[in-house]
């Protein structure tokens, strides 16, 4: 478990007691070295020295240094992170889509007449090429069948079970092991400097909330994602429960990201991290604020250690997580920072040895 806003590794009551004592302690604390500042470089241990790492350090210094004209009040320090391709691997296919495909047999078992109905028939065939060719409407049918219709509690239990057992095909590891270590460090560094970190993902809000605390140190309420409605009802014994409905409330992608940020957070972030055209509007919205703002985009240019795709910078084109040349040009024009996975990251995953 990562240390987070809620300090999962620290006994909260101790902290609360500590806060209550702060008036007495603050004098002593003031005379001690400013830990967060001096520890900054070590906090980004998996980043190579270079413009990306420097952009993070400069932003944090400007926004947290008392007397700096770009100082930001602690309660306004909000940082948002896209997930797929920004915090964890999204190729060859989004992890949540793998989850949905893996859930199809269970759905068919509950409703056997689906066995011979498309697209379920194709998914059950296990023919990966045919599955990869499924149309968007077919994919949506699978998402609806596997992500809605059950209680919120049942969904959480199913997703949790999958997340602790299913392995990806390339690394043979849990999907939650495929988190980018440098981004974890950036999150932790921002939090250590008073920023409240949010995930703002096109993925399912309920899905990401299942593991966000354990994996990122981000509590469920700080995950903004694509969200459907729920319906309140009662079991026969009178106990209330919520059912997940196939009614889209927020499509948290592209323009939906700033819209989702307004709905769920209610104010403009000071820092935003993304990796694809789906993040453009979130970065534009963040950059439109006054003072210091940090906008960063991860470029997947490391075929050896992870994947290489663009099509920006002449990298291979892709359907999953496109980073177009137009986005690249906009980033350059607006002084957003493009993170080269190959050059800026010393290591990609926690499980790797540092080179």
Binding site for a second copy (CB under 8 A): 6-8, 10-22, 25-26, 29-30, 32, 34-36, 39, 64, 66, 73-75, 77, 152, 192-194, 196, 205-206, 209, 213, 219-221, 223, 227, 229-232, 239-242, 249-250, 255-256, 258-259, 262-267, 281, 284-285, 288
246 vs 316, which CB is nearer to a second copy?
A: 246
Taking only Cα atoms into account, the Rg of the chain, rounded to an integer number of angstroms, comes to 22
User: Which of helix, strand or coil describes residue 5?
Assistant: coil
64 vs 95, which CB is nearer to a second copy?
A: 64
113 vs 232, which CB is nearer to a second copy?
A: 232
Give the nearest distance from C-beta 196 to a second copy in angstroms: 8
Place of tokens 């509950």: 110
Give the nearest distance from C-beta 172 to a second copy in angstroms: 31
194 vs 311, which CB is nearer to a second copy?
A: 194
161 vs 267, which CB is nearer to a second copy?
A: 267
Give the nearest distance from C-beta 84 to a second copy in angstroms: 19
- Please state the three-class secondary structure of 226-285 as a single string: EEEEEEEEECCCCCEEEEEEEEEEECCCCCHHHHHHHHHCCCCCCEEEECCHHHHHHHHH
38 vs 355, which CB is nearer to a second copy?
A: 38
Give the nearest distance from C-beta 233 to a second copy in angstroms: 8
169 vs 235, which CB is nearer to a second copy?
A: 235
123 vs 190, which CB is nearer to a second copy?
A: 190
Give the nearest distance from C-beta 286 to a second copy in angstroms: 10
Compute φ and ψ for 223, nearest 5 degrees.
-110, 115
Give the nearest distance from C-beta 161 to a second copy in angstroms: 19
- Contact of 179 with 345, CB cutoff 8 Å: no
Place of tokens 């932003």: 59
- Contact of 96 with 214, CB cutoff 8 Å: no
What is the DSSP annotation of 41-109?
HHHTTTBPSSHHHHHHHHHHHHHHSTT-TT---GGG-EEEE--BTTTB---SS-HHHHHHHHHHHHHHH
Quick one: CA torsion of 328, 332, 334, 339, rounded to 10 degrees? 70
12 vs 173, which CB is nearer to a second copy?
A: 12
Give the nearest distance from C-beta 255 to a second copy in angstroms: 4
Give, rounded to a whole angstrom, the gap between the first and last alpha carbons of the chain: 24
Give the nearest distance from C-beta 335 to a second copy in angstroms: 15
Give the nearest distance from C-beta 350 to a second copy in angstroms: 22
- Contact of 296 with 54, CB cutoff 8 Å: no
DSSP conformational letter for 315: P
Helix (H) / strand (E) element for 299: namely strand 294-299
- Other CB atoms within a 10 A radius of the CB of residue 135 amount to 10
């Amino acid at each position: 478990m990562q240390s987070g806003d809620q300090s999962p590794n620290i006994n909260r009551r101790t902290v609360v007691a500590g806060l209550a004592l702060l008036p007495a302690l603050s004098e002593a604390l003031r005379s001690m070295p400013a830990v967060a500042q001096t520890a900054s470089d070590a906090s980004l241990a998996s980043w190579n020295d270079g413009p990306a790492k420097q952009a993070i350090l400069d932003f944090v210094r400007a926004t947290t240094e008392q007397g700096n004209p770009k100082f930001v009040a602690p309660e306004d320090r909000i940082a948002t992170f896209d997930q797929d391709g920004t915090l964890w691997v999204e190729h060859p296919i989004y992890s949540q889509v793998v989850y949905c495909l893996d859930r199809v047999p269970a759905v068919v078992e509950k409703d056997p007449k689906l066995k011979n109905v498309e697209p379920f028939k194709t998914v059950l065939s296990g023919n990966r090429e045919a599955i990869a060719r499924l149309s968007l409407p077919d994919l949506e049918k699978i998402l609806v069948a596997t992500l809605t219709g059950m209680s919120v509690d049942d969904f959480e239990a199913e997703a949790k079970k999958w997340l602790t057992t299913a392995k990806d095909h390339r690394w043979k590891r849990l999907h939650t092991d495929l988190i980018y270590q440098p981004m974890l460090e950036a999150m932790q560094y921002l939090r250590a400097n008073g920023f409240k970190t949010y995930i703002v993902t096109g993925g399912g809000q309920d899905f990401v909330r299942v593991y966000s605390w354990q994996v990122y140190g981000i509590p469920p309420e700080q995950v903004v994602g694509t969200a459907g409605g729920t319906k309140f009802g009662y079991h026969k014994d009178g106990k209330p429960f919520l059912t997940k409905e196939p009614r889209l409330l927020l499509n948290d992608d592209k323009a939906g990201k700033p819209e989702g940020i307004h709905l769920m957070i209610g104010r403009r972030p000071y820092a935003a991290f993304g990796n694809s055209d789906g993040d453009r509007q979130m970065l534009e919205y963040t950059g439109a604020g006054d003072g210091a703002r940090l906008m960063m985009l991860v470029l997947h240019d490391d075929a050896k250690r992870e994947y290489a795709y663009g099509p920006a910078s002449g990298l291979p084109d892709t359907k999953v997580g496109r980073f177009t040349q137009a986005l690249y040009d906009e980033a350059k024009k607006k002084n957003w920072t493009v993170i080269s996975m190959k050059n800026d990251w010393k290591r990609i995953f926690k499980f790797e040895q540092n080179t």
